[in-house]
Chains A and B, each alone.
Chain A
């Protein structure tokens, strides 16, 4: 955790839809130049948390400060530091890239030469300067995603909040977006990156929070979180047969931390894969379960999430 003054400070945030608590006592800080990854499956509370940070939902309890300004009480000052990349493509497709940028730039208070130069700079950042005069409707989805990011950057924010910004984007465009975000981070922009793409968060973020059922159940650097598994290994078995009974038996084995059936395969977290595999194969043979593949993996955030919640990130 950085000792710098946080650009974003969330304190004991809470939100509920009727009786259902969507966000429960969530607290975290982000310092300038840091990237905080908010990991969680759909419906875990990521988007609700982001909406509260962006001033779109008033928290039922708790406080949010952006650059020292309380979002609830001093929204305009707080929002001056904020850039928001929504999950959906929030663009006017019947306008050109340039016109979109100019419109949102004006709404942020930019005008004249400042506006023109900022539009040009930002389109250059996302490599769309050569398509500035083209209608957004004619863009590929990857280009639209990049423009979606550019609009959030138009007013030079200190905090960039991104809600699953790479959904539906091809690998090349995703790589380009992540490259730009890394560069922005290097210039001092703080990032709050919500995603269920674990590999993106691992690449981009120096700190990660795992949210499930509205609660921040783990919080730390990726290395800290992975280390919390105690050096265990992931075992993925391609298997057919009575998987329910099979999983019940292998979960009871010593050194097995988790065993789940996910997408037709069996995923396990084990202390020592080499020692566990022979026993697992024996059980499979006894129960008539046919094993088609065995894959051993090292720990990662997916494994952390699996261990903590019993669910995968894409559940």
Chain B
């Protein structure tokens, strides 16, 4: 019989923490690469869903809508000119004198939505929308929000010149169905992909491999760090697959790559932390699976993944702003219309803070599970 070389019990060199993490990550990725269900959830299903949403909800150059710009008496011509600069030819743009006239036109269906320019530059712009026309409504909100953007806001002031270069290009990007719904689908599927990794903790516990690793002096920190890394990698793969596929097929432009990646990593960590919390609060794989799906659907509904934010009442929009996915969708959209990392740093901070808080809670609970 072969008995092995080396001195018994001393053949092993102490294993560094990072080396353990790397080995764990490699093993987990190898397992995922062989799991057809995991690959379907992480790549095929989100790409297919995003494609369908993009086609069903309209390609960028096919929006059949008219947006009105309401310039009541007292607003400057410069404001009207600035807003008119949005007219890229992708949709009809009409200037209306009064808010009540715009409201009537929206009700009658002659126009899809209207942006009301305030008399005072300090007041916010308002949107009058027909809730049955989601894309025009979203466009109107984007127009209003962009006109309020510091710097761009000057474009509607009485003494400033139109900031056409700042505004028109982003608006052109915002119009795409793929760009409107790509992030929405990608973020929804993040719940499912990170859930796959979080649930593997249960699988390892019931299989006994966690116990075996503990006997081999593998720390729970290394095990959990590897899960976190795999979550980010798998989440990143899912988001990249969706965004790249939509770019390739529909020519979607997501704006700043750096800002998109930063927001993407932040939301992946936050959603991953939620998935890990769920996994640590449940005692079985099956229960974790059901609860994760329920949580995913709840967050998706609240955060605007199932129903476009523009189609929600104000209260629901407020709630969406409290969910990490809702904040992320807005941040992604802001980046897509020309925003940079500086423009979305608050969103990134909110999502990152939530990821940290939930992640810490999940980590302390998960350590207990690993140690059991």
Chain A residues within CB distance 8 Å of chain B: 54-56, 67, 75-76, 79-82, 84, 86-92, 94-95, 99, 103-104, 106-110, 114, 117-118, 121-122, 124-125, 151, 153, 155-159, 180, 183-184, 187-189
Whole-angstrom distance between the alpha carbons of A148 and B208 in the complex?
A: 11
Judge whether B208 and A88 touch: CB under 8 Å: yes
1-42 of chain B: CB within 8 A of chain A: 1-15, 19-20, 23-24, 27, 30-31, 34-35
Q: Report chain A residues within 8 Å CB of B218.
A: 107
In the bound complex, do residue A79 and residue B215 qualify as a contact, i.e. CB atoms below 8 Å apart? Answer: yes
Q: Take A55-B214, A104-B216, A122-B4 as given contacts and tell me if A92 and B27 are in contact as well, using a CB distance cutoff of 8 Å.
A: yes
A67 to B31, CA, bound (A): 36
A125, B2: Cβ atoms under 8 Å? Answer: yes
B257 within 8 Å of A (CB atoms): no
CA distance A276 to B2 in the complex (A): 53
The answer to whether A95 and B11 have CB atoms under 8 Å apart is: no
Q: B3 contacts which chain A residues (CB < 8 A)?
A: 121, 184, 187
List 11 interface pairs A-B (beta carbons < 8 Å), by A numbering.
A84-B215, A89-B207, A90-B208, A91-B207, A109-B12, A109-B13, A110-B11, A121-B5, A155-B11, A156-B6, A183-B1
How many B residues, CB 8 Å from partner? 35
- Given A104-B216, A107-B216, A125-B2, does the pair A189, B211 have CB atoms closer than 8 Å? no
Which of B9, B19, B27, B213 sits near A81, CB closer than 8 Å? B9
Taking a contact as CB atoms under 8 Å apart, the answer to whether A157 and B9 are in contact is yes
Q: Compute how far the CA of A180 lies from the CA of B4 in the bound complex, rounded to whole angstroms.
A: 14
Give the docked Cα–Cα distance between A155 and B7 (Å): 10
Please, which residue of chain B has its CB at the minimum distance from the CB of A93?
B207
Q: Is A125 a contact partner of B1 (Cβ separation < 8 A)?
A: yes
Query: Shortest Cβ distance from A72 into chain B, in angstroms?
Result: 14
Assuming the contacts A76-B14, A86-B211, A90-B212, asked whether A114 and B6 have C-beta atoms less than 8 A apart, the reply is: yes
Q: Mark B59-94, 1 if CB is under 8 A from A, else 0.
A: 000000000000000000000000000000000000
Q: How far is the CB of A93 from chain B (nearest CB, A)?
A: 8
**C-beta contact mask, B203-228 vs A, less than 8 Å → 1, else 0?**
00001110111111110000000000
Tell me if A79 and B217 are in contact (CB < 8 A).
yes
Q: Within the assembled complex, what's the spacing in Å between the Cα atoms of A114 and B4?
A: 10
Residue among A103, A108, A117, A157 making CB contact with B27, cutoff 8 Å? A103
Complex-state Cα separation, A90 to B32, whole angstroms: 18
Chain A residues within 8 Å of B4, by CB: 118, 121-122, 153, 156
Q: Which single member of B6, B34, B209, B211 contacts A56 (CB below 8 Å)? A: B211
The smallest beta-carbon distance between B2 and chain A, in angstroms, is 4
Q: What chain B residues lie within 8 Å of A108 (beta carbons)?
A: 12, 15, 216
- Name A86's contact: one of B11, B23, B208 (CB within 8 Å): B208
